[in-house]
Amino acid sequence: MADNDQITYLDINVLQPNPLQPRGLITPESLVDLVDSIREHGILEPLVVAETPAGYQIIAGERRWRASKIVGLTQVPTIVKKTSHRGMLEMAIVENVQRVDLNPLERAQGFKRMMDEFALGTAEIAQRIGKSQAYVSNSLRLLTLPDALKDALLSGIVTEGHIRALAAIEDPNLMIEALRQILREGGSVRRAEELSREYKTKVQGETPKHDFQRVHSDEMVEMEKTLGGKLGAKVKIAQSMREARLMIVVKGNVEKTSDFLRSVNKVLEEQFVAQSSNGQNKEEVEVEVKEEKTEESSSSGDGPTITV
């Protein structure tokens, strides 16, 4: 409160809630502690109100006003401001973003109203509320999230920190999947950050379907059959405009699959040596080895599936 702000006691019934107030529903349950405080100590901080043709409208302090009515006060201390429609909204938002109990989504909705109604950018909003531009941008980002994440935040089962971490995942479906995992585990914000990195890495590591399409020519089909018969394994060949991929899947116990991998490695080494001795340039070959337990191999007792 500025030194030159004069405190005026107004009848509690002449005050009106600010229609531009960014805060949403204020429930009686949320006022219990404030009611007890006012009943014991009175109103420690004056309400800020605007004098308008429609009467005195509350800019800051609606919760104190409602709690005072519950207590039964007839007058409340106020600081009367003369301001515009725009000024009322800005002052209300500035007051609210300082409150730790303001829901992050309500705060974001307040910022959006400033953008929509007054054509303010994130930098201008940040300057008015004394926060960073990133703070405003991140708050607005909450409004674009899937409903499942917003509902979780509103209900209080996760924090804003959890949601900010999960928001880094671009795929909405993966966001929801990560949220469910957090809820199952009771994970911390740090765990949410770890999951976010894991899901982003997973997406980046996947080859887009439109970039890698299976070739269905008779020649490719014949090559798969021939090579699969010689290796005694399932073979798939895929080709795009930029690369070709050969996938060999062999099932068996660890000893069998290890022997198979050593055999494949030996054949590849011999082929590369032969090319080098003939003065041929070796093609760039990337060999990826994956070991995974499939339902089929688990039920049959054959052991892991090796994908090369």
Residue 8 host element (H or E): strand 7-11
Is the distance from CB of 59 to CB of 95 less than 8 angstroms?
yes
User: Distance between CA atoms of 57 and 7, rounded to whole angstroms?
Assistant: 16
62 is catalytic: yes
Q: Which of 40, 62, 206, 222 is catalytic?
A: 62
CA geometry: angle at 234 spanning 230 and 235, to 5°? Answer: 80
Which residues touch 269 (CB under 8 Å, ≥6 apart)?
Answer: none
| Angstrom distances, CA of residue 218 to CA of 221, 233, 241, 247 | 5, 20, 18, 18
Give Cα 276 distance to the centre of its chain.
51
User: Distance between CA atoms of 201 and 184, rounded to whole angstroms?
Assistant: 22
For the chain, count helices (H), then strands (E).
13, 9
Q: In what order do the strands lie in the sheet with 244-251?
A: 234-239, 244-251, 305-307, 290-292
The phi-psi region of residue 228 (left if phi > 0; otherwise alpha if psi is between -120 and 50; otherwise beta) is alpha
CA atoms within 13 A on the CB side of 15: 30
Number of Cβ atoms within 10 Å of the Cβ of 105 = 19
Residue 284 host element (H or E): none
Q: Structure tokens of 198?
A: 């894991």
Residues annotated as catalytic are 62
